[in-house]
A and B are shown apart, each in its own frame.
Chain A
């Protein structure tokens, strides 16, 4: 009941004229960003975070949350219309979305994707509302050892579930943590890793410098290289009658939508998993459980509904650990978490008690953003198609300028802009060599929180690491973290044992 009252209060905040405007604007911008091939929610949130200084923290997170939601919807548009996923989260949507578009049913595919996104988002945000307060209450009892154990688990999931090359994943985590430790030592106050006394390093490396470098500049350089041009945009005829007919057909897919929504939500909570594996798993499960699995990949509407409901639910799931534990569930939520620090809020369970207006205003805004994303998505399909036709040589310089200015504004220091450029160029090269970049961004955000937690824990235990295994919550989380860390080794051993058996 208390949750309901807080949520109602949150709606009152979300419906304030400024916040409502920010939701609508955020959804529209997010939809356009998500629809751009190669750009997703993480790019939009990273590039536009510095622009939120104009509004109070609640408005800022509402705006960025709306961009996040809008981009999750938008990803499907280019998957269907161009056959190129707008973001990795929409890869699975291409499998059946593109064939449908080529069969002249692009409108049907777009409406199905939007509706499934709405259902996934709604289920996700309802589960979020139910789970967040009790989880935050448990998290309030956490001390430094539990916090460090949680952070270790966040990194461990990247190793265990990320699916990328293990040494490269670990390297990405380590370099992010080292970069997060640049500046003044938090306990002794002495300068640390300031590279020959360069003044710009004394204030540390702002996480946005790395985030924009990687998700802005490196991503753009990468997109410019891989976009070969000559893509074929499908035509979509959208009429009220056709939308009505599609919605009627979608009623028959409710089981797939629910499966995608619940699966996506719980996969989204895991830090390294998130929306992309959530969507792929939902697609795989829908296909496996289907009566006619051979129709998948040829334009089956369930093949759009499953991944789209899952990726939207996962995006909400990723926010649960971010708000309640201060551990982001995805790169986008890592940037949102960094934003909270910039706005003067301490991420973690205390936000629920210290800043209820912020938290509940944000949660309520997700309901509203979900609805507006659906409406804007369906109403402006022709506008998205027009944007997709826009030459990349117009969009690229504008995004580059936003990146450069966005890197300058938080600290008003040109040193950060140069550093961002270096990160962008090195990040582009590392991306070409398949180094995962998300763990580095997560690490630079969590590093400054993880180090004091570790040092405090060790100080309490006089240097003994047993403190992480003698406290019940910390022990459970540590064991899970160790399990995730050893998962690739176990898998390798299992494969080795299984291979000779198969050969025999």
Chain B
């Protein structure tokens, strides 16, 4: 846990430096008749972030926080497995949004999660995999008129839109 605390502090410290550098692309000082430059606000806030990260790392090294005193691992094997499975499945679903669209990615995600991760019956899995995208389509596309990504399946939806409009 202590190592994770220090590493997180260091990573965020580097990120703060990057933000300071990018903010400084705009003026960070006082501009006559205009007030503070456009980069001043994010620059000084990122400087504040950096100061906090330094304090977090020092406290972590000196074992002054409960996390840095803890002997527990940041993630045990069970937590790591759950994290990889869940975050991986989510990332894959978002990636599939670009290719097969929301109405293809959602059933795939549900089948993976319910059947293979949850161990539920095919009947329950199938019901959710069919009903969820249908309800989402009616709510978002028809009621809210907000178009979700469809990837290469876009032409398949044209007859459905013709039916509704």
Residues of A near any B CB (own CB < 8 A)? 51, 53-54, 165, 167-168, 170-171, 174-175, 177-178, 181, 185, 187-188, 190, 192-193, 195, 217, 220-221, 224-225, 391, 393-394, 396-398, 400-401, 404-405, 408-409, 412, 414, 417-418, 421, 424-425, 428-430, 432-434, 451, 454-456, 458-459, 463
Contact = CB atoms under 8 A, between A and B. Distances in A.
Nearest to B46: A178
B41 A451 contact: yes
Contacts of B79: 225
A185 to B, nearest CB: 4
A341 to B, nearest CB: 19
Contacts of B124: 394
A220 B85 CA distance: 13
Contacts of B59: 165, 167
Interface string B76-102: 000100110011001101100110001
A178 B20 CA distance: 10
9 contacts: A167-B52, A171-B12, A178-B45, A192-B23, A193-B42, A401-B132, A424-B90, A433-B67, A455-B36
Contacts, number: 162
B35 A192 contact: no
Contact of A217 (B42, B90, B128): B90
B98 to A, nearest CB: 7
A165 B65 contact: yes
Contacts of B119: 393
Contacts of B75: 432
A225 B30 CA distance: 49
B144 A193 contact: no
Contacts of A224: 82, 86
Given A414-B97, A463-B30, A181 B56 contact: no
A61 B147 CA distance: 24
B61 interface: no
B63 interface: no
A399 to B, nearest CB: 11
Given A178-B45, A195-B22, A394 B94 contact: no
Contacts of A404: 90, 93-94, 97
Contacts of B134: none
A414 B38 contact: no
Contact of B52 (A168, A433, A455, A459): A168
Contacts of A178: 19, 42, 45-46, 49
A454 B102 CA distance: 42
A434 B35 contact: no
A181 B149 contact: no
A405 to B, nearest CB: 7
A418 B95 CA distance: 9
Contact of B140 (A175, A221, A405): A405
A385 to B, nearest CB: 20
Nearest to A398: B132
Contact of A454 (B41, B48, B91): B41
Q: Chain B: interface residue count, which band?
A: 35 or more
Interface of B: 1, 4-5, 8, 12, 19, 22-23, 25-26, 30, 34-36, 38-39, 41-42, 45-46, 48-49, 52-53, 55-56, 59, 65-67, 74-75, 79, 82-83, 86-87, 90-91, 93-94, 97-98, 102, 106, 109-110, 113-114, 117-120, 124, 128, 132, 136, 139-140, 143-144, 146-149
A408 B75 CA distance: 30
Contacts of B86: 220-221, 224, 396, 400
Contact of A418 (B25, B94, B102, B113): B94
A188 B41 CA distance: 13
Contacts of B128: 394, 397-398
A459 B35 contact: yes
Contact of B118 (A171, A391, A458): A391
Given A171-B52, A408-B149, A463-B35, A397 B140 contact: no
Contacts of A167: 52-53, 55-56, 59
Nearest to B109: A397
Nearest to A408: B148
Contacts of B45: 174, 177-178, 181
Nearest to B85: A224
Contacts of B87: 221, 425
Given A178-B42, A185-B38, 15 more contacts: A171-B12, A171-B49, A187-B34, A187-B38, A190-B26, A193-B19, A394-B118, A404-B93, A412-B146, A421-B91, A425-B87, A433-B1, A434-B67, A454-B41, A463-B30
Contacts of A171: 12, 49, 52-53, 56
B146 A409 contact: yes
A405 B113 contact: no
Nearest to A401: B106
Contacts of B55: 167
Contacts of A174: 45-46, 48-49, 52
Contacts of A188: 26, 34, 38
A454 B45 CA distance: 13
Nearest to A196: B22
A54 B144 contact: yes
B46 to A, nearest CB: 6
B74 A405 contact: no
A430 B117 contact: no
A217 B90 CA distance: 9
A301 B8 CA distance: 44
A358 to B, nearest CB: 21
A125 B92 CA distance: 45
Given A181-B42, A425-B87, A433 B4 contact: yes
